[in-house]
Structure 1
Amino acid sequence: MVDRPGLITPEIAEQYGVSTHTVSKTWAQHPDWPAPVDRRGRYKEYAATDIADFVREHIERQAVTLEPERLYTAQQLEDAGIGIKAGTIRADLTRSRWPEPDDTEHGVNRWKGETVMVAMTGRRGYRRQGS
């Protein structure tokens, strides 16, 4: 077996857990998508290191860092730059895709920073702290 330093679309999709459509129609349309280094069959071949750099810089989201014991509203979480809109948090909560609030005093849903950080590491596209 030949160890290739390059990747083609199906290999990129498999390696990063996305569809070939996502790679070819979304990622590859980005202005910072790397230039191909060769061709393999009907596919353009890309340097694996260039793809890894692109994914790290444009696709993966850094693990969010919040004060673990502080309580945050959905809007405060959005404002903290976690990468999710307050409306998405509220919608995901109703669909059981977001953790129940740690506090609901005065009818306001608030989550501890620690709860949010754990929830974020379970979401697609986020890296765990220290990864």
Structure 2
Amino acid sequence: MVAPARLITPEIADQYDVSQHTVTKSWAQHSEWPQPVGKRGRFKEYDAKDVEKFVRDHVQRAAVDLEPTRLYTAPDLEAAGIGITAGTIRADLTRGRWPEPDRTEHGVNQWLGSTAAQALAGRRGYRRSTQP
């Protein structure tokens, strides 16, 4: 099947596995969201390549190559450029959305790079690393 050159909100939501609300109330409110190129029914149409570029530049987080056997603290992971803050890691740990630390010494939580990479791979919006 050939990918359509133009997409409407429901198609964008399906293609990127998000809700239509996310497309209209979050992405489309961004200053760099592409301009409509037409209309289909009650929906504005957007160039598929422009939408793809927007998602790549503003939504997807680049995969970060972490050393699998190195221990990282939450601030270390933030500094490594994983795209989330140390505070988010701590909050997600409390809510059960981040793995338990591989090591806790002197009250400092530490995760192996492999543990953090696996947790990140399961989060929406992360590109998969090219390393095995």
Name the aligned partner's letter for residue 9 of structure 2: T
Q: 1:61-100 alignment to 2 at 5 Å?
A: 61-100=61-100
1:8 aligns with 2:14: no
CA distance in 2, matches of 1:3, 1:75: 41
CA distance in 1, matches of 2:26, 2:105: 42
List gaps (5 residues or longer) in structure 2: none
- Residue 28 of structure 1 is matched in structure 2 by 28
Q: CA deviation at 1:3?
A: 6.8
CA distance in 2, matches of 1:85, 1:108: 16
Q: Which runs of 4 or more aligned residues in structure 1 lie more than 3 Å from their structure 2 counterparts after TM superposition? A: none
Q: Deviations over 1:73-105 (max 9, x none)?
A: 111111222111112111211222111111112
CA distance in 2, matches of 1:58, 1:19: 17
Call closer, same or farther: CA 1:98–1:57 in 2, change over 3 Å: same
Q: 1:104-123 alignment to 2 at 5 Å?
A: 104-123=104-123
Query: What is the TM-score normalised by the length of structure 1?
Result: 0.90
Structure having the larger proportion of residues in strand:
2
3-state secondary structure, aligned to 2:109:
coil
CA distance in 1, matches of 2:3, 2:104: 55
8 Å CA contact retained: 1:64, 1:120: no
- Residue 51 of structure 1 is matched in structure 2 by 51
Name the aligned partner's letter for residue 38 of structure 1: G
Query: What is the TM-score normalised by the length of structure 2?
Result: 0.90
CA distance in 1, matches of 2:121, 2:91: 19
Name the aligned partner's letter for residue 60 of structure 1: Q
Q: CA deviation at 1:71?
A: 0.7
Name the aligned partner's letter for residue 46 of structure 2: Y
- Residue 17 of structure 1 is matched in structure 2 by 17
Structure having the larger proportion of residues in helix:
1
CA distance in 1, matches of 2:105, 2:29: 46
Call closer, same or farther: CA 1:6–1:102 in 2, change over 3 Å: same
